[in-house]
Amino acid sequence: MPEPIAAHSIPTPVAPPPDILRCAYMELVVTDLAASRNFYVDVLGLVVTEEDAEAVYLRSIEEFIHHNLVLRQGPVAAVAAFSYRVRSPEELDRAVAFYTELGCEVRRAPEGFTRGIGDSVRVIDPLGFPYEFFYDVQHVERLAWRYDLHTPGALVRLDHFNQVTPDVPRAVKFMEDLGFRVTEDIQDAEGTTYAAWLRRKPTVHDTAMTGGDGPRMHHVAFATHEKHNIIAICDKLGALRLSDRIERGPGRHGVSNAFYLYLRDPDGHRVEIYTQDYWTGDPDNPVVTWDVHDNQRRDWWGNPVVPSWYTEASPVLDLDGVPQPVVARTDTSEMAVTIGADGFSYTRPEDASRAQDDADVLPSWKQGEYKLGHQL
Amino acid sequence: MPEPIAAHSIPTPVAPPPDILRCAYMELVVTDLAASRNFYVDVLGLVVTEEDAEAVYLRSIEEFIHHNLVLRQGPVAAVAAFSYRVRSPEELDRAVAFYTELGCEVRRAPEGFTRGIGDSVRVIDPLGFPYEFFYDVQHVERLAWRYDLHTPGALVRLDHFNQVTPDVPRAVKFMEDLGFRVTEDIQDAEGTTYAAWLRRKPTVHDTAMTGGDGPRMHHVAFATHEKHNIIAICDKLGALRLSDRIERGPGRHGVSNAFYLYLRDPDGHRVEIYTQDYWTGDPDNPVVTWDVHDNQRRDWWGNPVVPSWYTEASPVLDLDGVPQPVVARTDTSEMAVTIGADGFSYTRPEDASRAQDDADVLPSWKQGEYKLGHQL
Amino acid sequence: MPEPIAAHSIPTPVAPPPDILRCAYMELVVTDLAASRNFYVDVLGLVVTEEDAEAVYLRSIEEFIHHNLVLRQGPVAAVAAFSYRVRSPEELDRAVAFYTELGCEVRRAPEGFTRGIGDSVRVIDPLGFPYEFFYDVQHVERLAWRYDLHTPGALVRLDHFNQVTPDVPRAVKFMEDLGFRVTEDIQDAEGTTYAAWLRRKPTVHDTAMTGGDGPRMHHVAFATHEKHNIIAICDKLGALRLSDRIERGPGRHGVSNAFYLYLRDPDGHRVEIYTQDYWTGDPDNPVVTWDVHDNQRRDWWGNPVVPSWYTEASPVLDLDGVPQPVVARTDTSEMAVTIGADGFSYTRPEDASRAQDDADVLPSWKQGEYKLGHQL
Amino acid sequence: MPEPIAAHSIPTPVAPPPDILRCAYMELVVTDLAASRNFYVDVLGLVVTEEDAEAVYLRSIEEFIHHNLVLRQGPVAAVAAFSYRVRSPEELDRAVAFYTELGCEVRRAPEGFTRGIGDSVRVIDPLGFPYEFFYDVQHVERLAWRYDLHTPGALVRLDHFNQVTPDVPRAVKFMEDLGFRVTEDIQDAEGTTYAAWLRRKPTVHDTAMTGGDGPRMHHVAFATHEKHNIIAICDKLGALRLSDRIERGPGRHGVSNAFYLYLRDPDGHRVEIYTQDYWTGDPDNPVVTWDVHDNQRRDWWGNPVVPSWYTEASPVLDLDGVPQPVVARTDTSEMAVTIGADGFSYTRPEDASRAQDDADVLPSWKQGEYKLGHQL
């Protein structure tokens, strides 16, 4: 039986949500812009649309809008915005009304918050994440046909975001109010949801909600055309003696059925490379629910998930650039956390002895002790 | 300068069009059901959802609706329906109103025209094509994770249709009224459109309009995940000594940027295998216009297009199963046809000496002389 | 400084070695023939050349000789023969003379030890391994062009064997006397060799010597054409809910530069799937020596090696079918074994605290405690 | 019945042939060194080992010897040497004796004929081709692991040469005397050989003999790892608007079973890109004989062969750099040439009406009219 959605749930606004088209870009704060530029441009092959001393604007090979990733120099590695494109300029008014009704902080920038983008709205959503919405954007050359510029590991599209949040059912309910649909999720026998994949565009997701102390950013994902492109990225990292940037994979996901790889950038921000999920655009698209005890849900080949993948994530910023405080995963009776012998946290005490790869709740984040990043 | 859309244009209905989700299936009439089943099931690996003495219902690996292709035994090889899924059951009423206002023949089958599908509408559209719309459909297992059943050339999705019509600008204008958007087209310096790709789902197309005597069906296309899957189909056809079923390719399209292969089934119906076009779902997605003289537009590698690809296509049926008469490509001053030394028809006399691969108008179809099919 | 090759080294025979062409087949004793047949035929797609109640003879897609693998029902999972093809029938006399001079047990079967093979010699070599040599063999259809029979994970060639032996330098010296050449090896700063790859045919190896308690068989390897073929095997195992058969990988080797996957068969015999190493056929082919501390030597992407890969291996049989006793890795001063906190054995005490993936010596095999196999 | 090998056959020398290891490099004379360098380096990604004003020395990614291709500026596009590596320095003496006995012109250069190579022998062989043999060579870095330098279409090995000669059976007999073995050939029902594939290293070939006016060079072939690498080359040529460099393919060969592509360099020299043939190293490796009427022998998918592929080839030079005269394909009764309506020459009059793709004899080369090269 699913847990009751109680007083802690976010009310559904009367105002309709903005019509969101797709995840469009992430703004990442990085502590060493040159190092990050090297990683995303020289290693991963993202294309520089524009850059200056403070920021680099990058896009994927098949993109025609100004950017899919902004790297901005800053004092602490964090996420400044999860940005979505909406279907028309008018949707920005809807975004303002929707979040204002929820009591969220809302700011509008008629000239845009970044280069290349016009009228935009940024909010801190009820889950604590900095979300952006925009329609106006500068068009740039779609490099799909420019095979002379493609690398063996060419990244062709921004595919999705992944967010860490302490109460997944609460987050899912809110995202559904925002117009997202669940395509897949992970549950236990009691119907508790440990993670959910949510889409606007007709792929498996534009974003996912992963249970853990939050708000934090788990990863941003780019797509390649084929599996060998992902392997080529690993091979290149090996050649550059940067194999430590490979955190997990490559492998095949159970959830989404995609072939994947997880990397960590110089600041520890996690980047997924992803290919070949499936069409989900029908209104009655069947939701796939995975058992949290199914060890093929996270990796179809049963390969174990490295602990850092469960424990580490990036802070997110408020609209003034201050890191958002992280709320511990809620300890209602359904969601209580027990630390297992493996160092992982579990929602049910009896689960604490389960193997690591049964863990789908990120362990409790200890304020003060948390150190973002992977030892590179 | 584009040709004027004159008296011959189809008026825009006052009634709004149905909200079409995606191309969903084609109903093909075949003259030897066993031979066709062998081709689509044993050779191409489509999955049989259901079958009886008169028909076989097939789906692709990642499909969750009952079928993407119906093979129905009949006296003449032809297309009985281009079928689209709409966003909700209510859209069928809109379809009825839209086509009724246009004076089209409209039929509704509350129990569906084929197995596995419920309430449906079929029409003969103003261009002469049998179109179907439905929402209700039986769900079946999505075999995406059933890798034990996948073949080296696994077809994972129905991707698109392609229609032959004598007046492409007229057809495009009508399809735009129906809610489609152009993603790419082929034009000459005067702005005459020779072919256009039109989408509802956010890929390059759900259907395309190719200039030629029509209405006829040029091809139906299925997608694979990777390029090697398409090569595997060619290799298997070679091993089965069925290489004559390969009509054109494999190659890389200029238009759509997809990797492709064209096959001919036992009746001569053309099937494309297709992979890796790009996202087109933004409202301001840039339209790519190719010059009809650019020999990389049809094949990015400049390989010539075999004449049969331009000359042959399948008849389409009316709602009583009678082949639709074929209208010759219109000979207005903009669209006059001259037969070149190469047997191709050209819209401008001075083009008649151009090389074959500049031809993007199908040659005039001679009633009585036309023989569907490829010598297999 | 390399360790001295002392009294324990095997003397070089006066008799010349047989001219070995390539590794040709392995004879595996399996405890459940039906289960093994299912794994190698139904899951991996090897082709049955012939079979009876006691044995199944299998070959890879591009092979033209009778078999590359014999599965023989028996009481204990073990290896009955590492079999090599020689260049001519006369080489068998040389094999007899060579091993006889070394005091080895030598048997000759003019009708062959298995079906499909004629005059053959089997020996227990000075390292304790059952080796076979043959020239006469029945030819069968090479299925290279039979793409109608290929599966997504088609195994096209037998590539190599891998043997576990307690004294790698001693084994290498002997194999060089037998006419093999080292292509790559793993050494520490003192020049101690932990593992070596040895070839007759011009690939990286026909067999490799891995340090550990021996004689045991580490793995037998089959090649695919491309990397996606290996991924397809993983995906199929996932679909069959046999993901536990995946022990390690897929990944990219440092040594050999090949893309790899390790599986465990129903008896725990290890099978590698392998693709894309390089030409080594020049007499002055450069030997690549990897530092035992280089964590990219075993996996180019730095992914850790699962402990079972270091600890488990298959017994080998003597010529009467009795398992060979296993000799503990020698404890000369150069080769002393210290058990690290990680459960691994190390040759130098100071290494015992090193991370697991620095281990290239298999831990001491404890007679009586050893249980072949992976928990499936 | 095979044609008698008559007085025109080349006598078998008493002197043994040199032990040839593999085809090693081709020396190409090019008329515009900068244009050729651009093609082979910037487009195809071969690696520059060394260069000066007159020549560029190139190697493939997995090569460890100084070069696989020399581009040398000269007045006429031609081939200066087909160069093979032999197994030891002593083999050069054998080469001298072997060709001297045959009355061939033989020159020896103790310092080598090109940079990076030591003691070498060049001859004009009895078929009129400039052949080189060497053992001493400078080692350079094998870039196999340098994935940071690999391109999407990375060429990893020199695979083979292909030579045009008027009397294929005569050429095959001579090459067998030189120690080569036939792996595949094309014959008609009378046993006339139209083309043959010959190997030293255990792949399908180090060189092939194609029937036509000769001596001429048909192509030089480099290998990739996978099929998508070949497609990437086509895509890049399209992006660079160099699609006219693609002469034939990509496709699957019947002969060799390899996936292939034929390009023409700026001088019209033909380059094949090739991947995935099979092991041929067993002494009793089965020879595959294809029927000249089998339209899948040249392309497994039955795609027609473009006429230029049959008609055009590069001149070869004598040891003084003068183009060798071309001998018309011999008109013995077995080999008489009839010109078909298709412009092709046929050995039997009754074949002259056959379709183009039955042609496996290159048409008569008309002195004075012949223009090397493809219209680029």
Chain position carrying tokens 């077809």: B155
Q: Which two tokens stand for residue B34?
A: 């066993």
Tell me which chain C residues have a C-beta less than 8 angstroms from the C-beta of D21: 281-283
Question: Which of the pair, C162 or D2, is modelled with greater confidence?
Answer: C162
DSSP B35: H
Tell me the pLDDT band of A135, cut-offs 50, 70 and 90: very high
- Residue A341 pLDDT > 60: no
pLDDT for position D330: 61
Tell me the pLDDT tens digit for each residue of A65-120.
999 999 999 999 999 999 999 999 999 999 999 999 999 999 999 999 999 999 99
Write down which chains contact chain C via at least 3 CB pairs under 8 A. A, B, D
Interface of B to C at Cβ within 8 Å reads 145-152, 154, 226, 228, 232, 235-236, 238-240
- The DSSP 8-state label assigned to residue D2 in this structure reads P
Confidence of residue A346 (pLDDT cuts 50, 70, 90): very low
**Across the strands, what pairs with C65?**
C139
pLDDT tier at D311, thresholds 50, 70, 90: confident
- Quickly state the pLDDT bin for D328 (edges 50, 70, 90): confident
Pick D147's closest partner by Cβ from A145, A150, A236. Answer: A236
> Each residue of A322-337: pLDDT tens digit?
999 999 876 432 233 3
Mean pLDDT in chain B? 89
Residue B280 pLDDT exceeds 60? yes
Q: Cis (ω within 30 of 0) for the bond into A250? A: yes
Other C-beta atoms lying within 10 Å of the C-beta of residue A285: 19
What's the distance, CA D51 to chain centroid? 24
Q: Provide the token pair at A175.
A: 């995202």
Q: What's the longest Cα–Cα distance across chain C?
A: 57
Candidates D226, D241, D252; nearest CB to B235? D252
Question: Cβ–Cβ of D279/C88 closer than 8 Å?
Answer: no
CB contact under 8 A, B228 and C232: no
Mean pLDDT of B117-122: 98
Q: What pLDDT is stored for residue B187 in this prediction?
A: 94
B147 interaction partners in chain C (CB closer than 8 Å): 152, 232, 235-236, 238-239
- Taking one residue from A and the other from C, the number of pairs with CB-CB distance under 8 angstroms is 59
Measured between CB atoms, which of B148, B149, B236 is closest to C148? B236
Q: Return the residue in C62, C279, C299 with the most chain D beta carbons within 10 A, the one to mutate for interface testing.
A: C279
Provide the b/e sequence for D47-85 (b: ≥16 CB within 10 Å). Answer: bebbbeeebbbbbbbbbbbbbbbbbbebeebbbbbbbbb
Kindly give, in sequence order, each residue whose CB lies less than 8 Å from that of residue C149, ignoring residues fewer than 6 positions away: B239, C47, C61, C143
Residue B238 and residue C152: Cβ atoms within 8 Å? no
Question: Contact at 8 Å (CB) between A340 and A230?
Answer: no
Does residue C72 contact residue C54 with C-beta atoms inside 8 Å? yes
Beta bridge partners of B162: B219
Is the distance from CB of A107 to CB of A121 less than 8 angstroms?
A: yes
Token pair, residue A320, equals 């003034």
C51: helix, strand or coil: strand
Cα-Cα-Cα-Cα dihedral of B320, B324, B325, B330, to 10°? 140
- Say what the pTM is: 0.92
Q: Could you tell me which chain A residue has the CA closest to the CA of B254?
A: A145
* Contacts across the B-C interface (CB distance below 8 Å): 43
Nearest CA in chain C to D61: C278
Residue D357 Cα distances to B244, C344, D187, angstroms: 13, 64, 14
Which of A87, A257, A282 is opposite residue B144, by nearest beta carbon?
Answer: A257
Say if CB B189 and CB B112 are below 8 A apart. Answer: no
pLDDT for position A376: 27
Chains near A (3 or more Cβ pairs under 8 Å)? B, C, D
Query: In chain C, whose CA is at the least distance from the CA of B145?
Result: C239
Could you tell me if C329 and C166 are in contact, meaning their C-beta atoms sit under 8 angstroms apart?
A: yes
Burial class (CB in 10 A: 0-12, 13-18, 19+), C350: exposed
Distance from C-alpha of C354 to C-alpha of C333, rounded to nearest angstrom: 19
Taking CB atoms and an 8 Å limit, are C147 and B228 in contact across chains? no
CA dihedral A199, A204, A206, A210 (to 10 degrees): 100
Each of the 376 residues of chain C gets a pLDDT tens digit; together they read: 344 444 479 999 999 999 999 999 999 999 999 999 999 999 999 999 999 999 999 999 999 999 999 999 999 999 999 999 999 999 999 999 999 999 999 999 999 999 999 999 999 999 999 999 999 999 999 999 999 999 999 999 999 999 999 999 999 999 999 999 999 999 999 999 999 999 999 999 999 999 999 999 999 999 999 999 999 999 999 999 999 999 999 999 999 999 999 999 999 999 999 999 999 999 999 999 999 999 899 999 999 889 899 889 999 999 999 999 999 876 432 233 344 444 334 443 444 444 344 456 554 433 333 233 322 2
DSSP symbols for A278-331: ----STTPPPEEEETT-TTSS-TT-PPPPHHHHH--EEBB-TTSPBPPPBPPP-
Decide if A252 and C243 are in contact by the 8 Å CB cutoff.
no
How many Å lie between the alpha carbon of B236 and the closest alpha carbon of chain D? 9
From B6-20, B173-187, B318-332, D138-152, the region with the lowest mean pLDDT: B318-332
Q: Which pLDDT belongs to residue B8?
A: 76
Q: Can you say how many angstroms the Cα of residue C304 is from the centroid of all Cα atoms in its chain? A: 21
Q: A219: closest CA among A317, A116, A79, A350?
A: A79
User: What type of residue is A333?
Assistant: S
Interface test with B, best of C61, C62, C148, C275 (most B CBs within 10 A): C148
Nearest to A243 among C228, C246, C296 (CB): C296
Comparing B209 with B343, which gets the higher pLDDT? B209
Interface test with D, best of B236, B290, B301 (most D CBs within 10 A): B301
Q: Mean pLDDT throughout A122-139?
A: 98
Distance CA D103, CA D125 (A): 9
Q: Under an 8 Å CB criterion, which residues of B touch D?
A: 226-228, 231, 234-235, 237-238, 241, 243-244, 246, 250, 252, 254, 259, 295-296, 300-303
3-state secondary structure C303-337: CCCCHHHHHCCEEEECCCCCECCCECCCCCCCCCC
Structure confidence at residue D343 as a pLDDT band (50, 70, 90) = very low
The one-letter code for the residue type at C43 is V
Give residue C8's pLDDT. Answer: 76
Mean pLDDT of B201-210: 98
Asked if residue D173 has pLDDT above 60, the reply is yes
C301 interaction partners in chain A (CB closer than 8 Å): 234-235, 237-238, 243, 246
Task: Specify whether the CB–CB gap between D301 and B244 falls below 8 A.
Answer: no
- Neighbour-count burial of A314, counting CB atoms closer than 10 A to its CB (0-12 exposed, 13-18 middle, 19+ buried): buried
Average pLDDT, chain D: 89
Partner residue facing D85 (CB), from C145, C225, C282: C282
- CA distances in angstroms from A8 to A123, A168, A212, C17, listed in the order given: 20, 12, 17, 80
Strand partners, A30: A73
In the structure, what pLDDT confidence band is assigned to residue D353 with cuts at 50, 70 and 90?
very low
All residues at 6 or more sequence positions from C322 whose CB lies less than 8 Å from its CB, including other chains: none
How far away is chain D from the Cα of B234, in angstroms, using its nearest Cα? Answer: 6
Q: What is the pLDDT of residue A253?
A: 98
Q: Are B146 and C241 in contact (CB under 8 A)?
A: no
pLDDT of residue A335: 31
Determine contact, residues B15/B98, Cβ cutoff 8 Å: yes
Which partners does chain D have (≥3 C-beta pairs < 8 Å)? A, B, C
Q: Which token pair is A152?
A: 């063996």
Task: Tell me how far CA of residue D148 lies from CA of A235, A237, B304, in angstroms.
Answer: 8, 8, 36
Question: Is the distance from CB of D328 to CB of D166 less than 8 angstroms?
Answer: yes
Is the per-residue pLDDT at A339 higher than 50?
no
Are the C-beta atoms of A361 and A194 separated by less than 8 Å? yes
Contact state of B239 with C147 under an 8 Å Cβ cutoff: yes
CA distance B326 to chain C (A): 39
Chain C hits for A301, CB-CB cut-off 8 Å, are 234-235, 237-238, 243, 246
- The alpha carbon of residue D253 and the mean position of all alpha carbons in its chain are separated, in whole angstroms, by 16
Place of tokens 């067998």: D176
Q: Cβ separation of B239 and C152 shorter than 8 Å?
A: no
pLDDT band at A239 (very low <50, low <70, confident <90, very high): very high
